[in-house]
């Protein structure tokens, strides 16, 4: 593998990591950079698994304490009735996370082939349109002034946010932007909305990775050589650290009212994607 290809994979890992968190759509940006870098990873399922695993590892690290505590709460609630009153909140929170994950799971399972075919034929165009929609969503969210709203999700809130996450399977439509926007619109406080949005990414990401691994196991193709595996490992690390850095930035972006900048950015990149689809 040439050094330029090595650098391309690292850059794609960084793009995946940053845009997985920031409200600008990771799928749309990866699709765009594939065109700009003349790299086709749509058939390289292993690489997609690697970079998405990098982001997942980052989120598991960010929420490690929460995950451990929630696991304890669920265990005690189910197997130790005497402690149900003190562990009910954590148990219910996990149920709401799972409830919010159902819409995306249904769409992913039922329409996976259709989505894959659309991506193969119109990936850049769909990404561009999705980014324009994301820009519009961010522009609307920037007008909201909800900073200290509700600190808890109802089941209806969880379903609404879950539906938004399902729509975000469309490339270019930001998952974090869409889910947080719906939560804020329903009166959820900013910190609570962002925390729930990123935590619900974990079960959906694990599920999608499992399906990707099963697909790869069925059609593994030619396994990469040692040099390629090294570049994949570096791309994984790049995606992981980029996700960690972006997570620190996202809260400030929402709190400081800089979403308009992200909105303008999405409009620009969306138009660029559409132009590239037309000329490439």
Return the SS3 of 147.
coil
Residues in the chain: 280
Q: Where are the alpha helices (DSSP H) in 40-111?
A: 45-62, 64-79, 84-110
What's the pLDDT score for residue 216?
73
What's the pLDDT score for residue 221?
58
What's the pLDDT score for residue 25?
83
If one counts the domains in the chain, the total is: 1
What is the domain extent for residue 27?
3-279
Q: State the Cα angle at 50 between 70 and 234, rounded to 5°.
A: 110
Location of structure tokens 């570096």: 234
The Cα–Cα gap between 1 and 44 comes to 15
Location of structure tokens 């969210």: 141
The Cα–Cα gap between 255 and 268 comes to 23
The Cα–Cα gap between 32 and 12 comes to 10
What's the pLDDT score for residue 169?
85
User: Half-sphere exposure (CA, 13 Å, Cβ side) for 1?
Assistant: 16
Q: Which pLDDT tens digit goes with each residue over 23-65?
A: 888 878 887 887 788 876 555 667 778 888 999 999 999 999 9
- Residues of the chain scoring pLDDT < 50: none
Q: Which pLDDT tens digit goes with each residue over 118-129?
A: 877 888 899 899
The Cα–Cα gap between 142 and 42 comes to 34
Tokens of 266: 């999405």
Nearest one of 88, 78, 86, 72 to 152, comparing CA atoms: 88
pTM confidence score: 0.86
Helix 190-199 and helix 201-218, axial crossing angle in degrees, nearest 10: 20
């Amino acid at each position: 593998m040439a050094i330029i290809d090595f650098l391309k994979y690292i850059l794609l890992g960084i793009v995946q990591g940053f845009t997985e968190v920031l409200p600008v759509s990771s799928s749309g940006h990866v699709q765009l950079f594939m065109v700009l870098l003349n790299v086709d990873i749509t058939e390289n399922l292993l690489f997609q698994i690697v970079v998405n695993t990098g982001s997942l590892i980052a989120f598991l690290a960010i929420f490690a304490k929460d995950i451990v505590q929630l696991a304890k709460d669920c265990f005690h609630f189910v197997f130790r009735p005497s402690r149900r009153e003190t562990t009910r909140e954590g148990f219910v929170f996990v149920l709401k996370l799972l409830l919010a994950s159902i819409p995306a799971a249904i769409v992913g399972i039922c329409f996976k082939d259709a989505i894959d075919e659309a991506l193969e034929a119109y990936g850049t165009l769909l990404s561009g349109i999705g980014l324009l929609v994301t820009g519009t969503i961010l522009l609307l969210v920037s007008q909201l002034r909800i900073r200290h709203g509700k600190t808890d999700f109802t089941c209806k809130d969880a379903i609404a946010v879950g539906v938004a996450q399902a729509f975000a399977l469309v490339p270019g439509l930001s998952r974090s932007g869409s889910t947080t926007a719906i939560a804020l619109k329903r009166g959820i406080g900013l910190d609570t909305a962002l925390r729930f949005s990123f935590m619900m990414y974990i079960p959906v990401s694990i599920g999608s990775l499992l399906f990707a691994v099963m697909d790869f196991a069925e059609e593994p193709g030619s396994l990469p050589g040692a040099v390629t595996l090294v570049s994949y490992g570096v791309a994984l690390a790049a995606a992981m650290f980029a996700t960690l850095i972006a997570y620190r930035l996202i809260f400030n972006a929402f709190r400081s009212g800089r979403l308009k900048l992200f909105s303008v950015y999405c409009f620009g990149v969306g138009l660029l994607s559409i132009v590239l689809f037309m000329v490439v």
